[in-house]
Amino acid sequence: MDIGTRRDSGKHTAILQAAIQVISQAGYHNAQISRIAREAGVADGTVYLYFKNKEDLLLSILRKAIGEVVLQLEQALPTEKTAEWKLRRIVEIYFQDLSRDPALAMVTQVHLRQVDAELRRQVGDIMKPFYNLLDGVIDQGVREGVVDGAISHRIARRMIFGTMDETVTAWVLTGSKYNLPALAPEIVRVLLYGISRRDDVKEEVTL
């Protein structure tokens, strides 16, 4: 069922888009294949020509979303020299990409969690490249001397991802009303320096 890179007559994309719309509105368990098919303008059976099953459809959405973020990051990060500025770009691009398609964000942030153990493992695989990028930046930060080498990489990564994740989820659940990317600078500030007051700031975080 690996259709490959050719997207045929656009049906692959149409079904994926329809799935994002339907799932974002109704949730994974209430998103019937028949409704997704109708929305995409194809027959029920056609969905199974492009996706192995409903679960695969959900994972494909995540792959697409994370794939795009990673792709953009791979292009943008080399531009930045310091780890600090790379982290800044990560948060910005992550927020920008997700805020560009609220329905997609709703699916990845909320409905994707509504799945069972087996699926969760695959979600981890898909997130890998993104986690690796984060780890790379933390590494560089330590080498540069701006990130505390004593902090566990795992903990650092989880704080960064956990904070971004919680922020996007809150944004999505409150209706995607405010400007998400605008929060990036303040987020980066707490990631770098925590919530503590800093009188000794020389070069303040600006954007």
Partner DNA sequence: GATGAATGAGTGTTCATTCAT
Partner DNA sequence: AATGAATGAACACTCATTCAT
Residues that bind its own copies (CB under 8 A): 26-27, 29-30, 110, 113-117, 120, 138, 141, 145-149, 151-152, 154-156, 158-167, 170, 173, 183, 186-187, 189-198, 200
Smallest gap from Cβ 28 to DNA, in A, equals 9
Q: Identify whether the C-beta of residue 94 lies closer than 8 Å to the C-beta of residue 169.
A: no
Instruction: Return left, alpha or beta for 175; rule: phi > 0 is left, psi -120 to 50 is alpha, else beta.
Output: left
91 near DNA, rule: CB under 7 A: no
Our CB check for its own copies shows the closer of 7 and 29 to be 29
**Number of residues in contact with DNA under rule CB under 7 A:** 21
44 near DNA, rule: CB under 7 A: yes
The entry of its own copies, DNA, none near residue 206 (CB within 5 to 8 angstroms by kind) is: none
Output DSSP code: residue 6: -
Output DSSP code: residue 112: G
Residue type at position 134: L
Nearest to 45 by CA among 17, 21, 20, 11: 11
| Cα–Cα distance measured from residue 9 to residue 194, given in angstroms and rounded to the nearest whole number | 50
Neighbours of 112 (CB within 10 A): 20
111 near DNA, rule: CB under 7 A: no
- Taking CB under 7 A as the criterion, the residue among 21, 54, 138, 141 binding DNA is 54
List contacts with DNA (CB under 7 A).
3, 8-9, 11, 30-34, 42-50, 53-55
